[in-house]
Structure 1
Amino acid sequence: MIAYLMGVACHFSLDNRVHAYVNAEEKRTGITHAEIETELERRLLEREHMRPLHSNLTCHLKITAQTVRASSRLFDEDPIKVAKAIMSFRTMNRLFINSSERTKRLCCFLLRFTGSYGVIHGMFMRKQPTPGCEAITDHLENEFNEAVPKGAELLSDLLTYLRGKGPMPEIFQGNFNGE
């Protein structure tokens, strides 16, 4: 449970740091929030010499009795729902990242048909980087690199708080948008 909380804290720390910028760039350029984040994911995968369209980013999520039991307790949720949620997350990740261009086009058609295209289409990893996103991705990669040591410090402070030996880190007074 602590490991999960630490993962959420890392995610929160980065989102809190960059979402105001991402939201401003979305307004300025028309490139959606999801497209911007997907391009950062592409960049980070490439930096690690991984192939963005062929990387299984959810292979660590296992549907084991232990995982389901722990997640069920953490979220106070039915274990069957938890198992289905993990399976759904893995499936959606494969769809957004690893699916063929043909499948992505079909999904985008269906998203347009249902009126959900604007919100979701940017989560699909494209063959080529999103045009006009390179400078934004450069900035976000720099922010990511600067956030790593601060995230480590935050995790240490959070663990101290959880052990009852220090205050809650102030950043948690904010939200994922840096407000």
Structure 2
Amino acid sequence: MPTTYAHWRFGDRCMKKLPGNIYQMILDNRAVFDYGVHGPDIFFYYNCLKKNEVNDFGTRMHEIPFGDTLEQIRPCFQKCDDKKAALSYLLGFTCHFVMDSYCHGYIERKDELSKASHGRIESQFDRYLLIKDGYDPVKKKVTFSLRPDRKMAHVISQLFPVWDEKTIYKTLKDQKFYLNLLKDNSKLKRWILSKGMDKLHVSSFKDLMLTEENDPEVADAMLRLDKLSVNALEHYPKLAKSLIGYLLHGDEPDPYFRNHFCQKEDYKDIPVLPLALERSYRTYRQR
């Protein structure tokens, strides 16, 4: 999964592609949309230093077809107190699905063929986008859009009733806490965090920390993910329209919803190219 800033940025661009009335609805419910763009990832942060049912729920949701998830959500959506807020959340959630489904195959293949881990590729893409947008990747807080409160938790818990509002609220708070903790804005903090991760046997978390310097191992990946994000952005309005039709009217969902958040079966056919060749490589809308 591209990570925190990448997903927020993608969602911010997606919403501007929607019809005026839908765009205004999202503006009126921006805070909950901004949680939607993180999709199932929010569940990863619940007591994230140890495996539990909540973070496992986030993992499992990535591995099943998005359409199956929507099928489970639709009857819950019908019962929501605030359908505009719920729809805004799910439009954000769909942003997450589209971006993940476009990018995960390449990320997984790059992970297999290089020394860069999945997490390293993701965090470096956040760094790449922050710099592209004029921010200092070390100083900029990527949690600026996350404002956990009980209203957000209530909307989300109605869509995922397997978890109560209290659990969702803790999940949202944990997400912001751990993401802020991973900010390596001083060498001392980075050293302390690294030692702590080693002691807790979660050394892989180091790869999620944004760094001052770029990693040349993934320079090619930054270009590819940027191109894939553009393809995903072009595809999103069609999928958003299908989501709305399915939730509100029971229309047949778009066939693309048969995909899941993870890499597709043929991901090993995705070329991983040297930087010089990547510069001229073209990507296309997926099916």
TM-score of the superposed pair, with normalisation by structure 2? 0.57
Matching residue of 1:13: 98
Q: Which 4+ residue blocks in structure 1 deviate beyond 4 angstroms?
A: none
Contact residue 58 and residue 93 of structure 1 kept, 8 A: yes
> What's the CA shift for 1:139?
1.0
Q: 1:98 to 1:4 in 2, by over 3 A?
A: farther
Task: Determine which of 56, 61, 86 is the counterpart of 2:141.
Answer: 56
Matching residue of 2:116: 31
Task: Determine which of 217, 221, 225 is the counterpart of 1:136.
Answer: 221
Matching residue's letter, 2:165 = P
Matching residue of 1:167: 252
> What's the CA shift for 1:102?
2.0
Q: Identity of counterpart residues, as a percentage?
A: 19
Matching residue's letter, 2:122 = E
Matching residue of 1:93: 179
Q: Please state whether the residue corresponding to 2:153 is helix, strand or coil.
A: helix
Matching residue's letter, 1:130 = D
Q: 1:177 to 1:154 in 2, by over 3 A?
A: same
> What's the CA shift for 1:29?
0.8
Q: 1:123 aligned to 2:227? A: no
Matching residue of 1:114: 200
Q: 1:159 to 1:140 in 2, by over 3 A?
A: same
TM-score of the superposed pair, with normalisation by structure 1? 0.89
Q: 1:83 to 1:165 in 2, by over 3 A?
A: closer
User: For residues 173 and 258 of structure 2, what CA distance do their matches in structure 1 show?
Assistant: 32
> What's the CA shift for 1:99?
4.3
User: For residues 198 and 256 of structure 2, what CA distance do their matches in structure 1 show?
Assistant: 38
Task: Determine which of 77, 80, 83 is the counterpart of 2:169.
Answer: 83
Unmatched segments (≥5 aa) in structure 1: none
User: For residues 65 and 109 of structure 1, what CA distance do their matches in structure 2 show?
Assistant: 34
Matching residue of 1:2: 87
Q: Please state whether the residue corresponding to 1:92 is helix, strand or coil.
A: helix
* Structure with the larger helix share: 1
Q: Please state whether the residue corresponding to 2:157 is helix, strand or coil.
A: helix
Contact residue 108 and residue 121 of structure 1 kept, 8 A: yes
Matching residue of 1:149: 234
Matching residue's letter, 2:242 = D
User: For residues 79 and 158 of structure 1, what CA distance do their matches in structure 2 show?
Assistant: 25
Instruction: Count how many residue pairs are aligned between Structure 1 and Structure 2.
Output: 178
What root-mean-square deviation, in Å, do the aligned CA atoms of Structure 1 and Structure 2 show? 1.8
Q: 1:116 to 1:89 in 2, by over 3 A?
A: same
Unmatched segments (≥5 aa) in structure 2: 1-85, 265-287
User: For residues 240 and 124 of structure 2, what CA distance do their matches in structure 1 show?
Assistant: 26
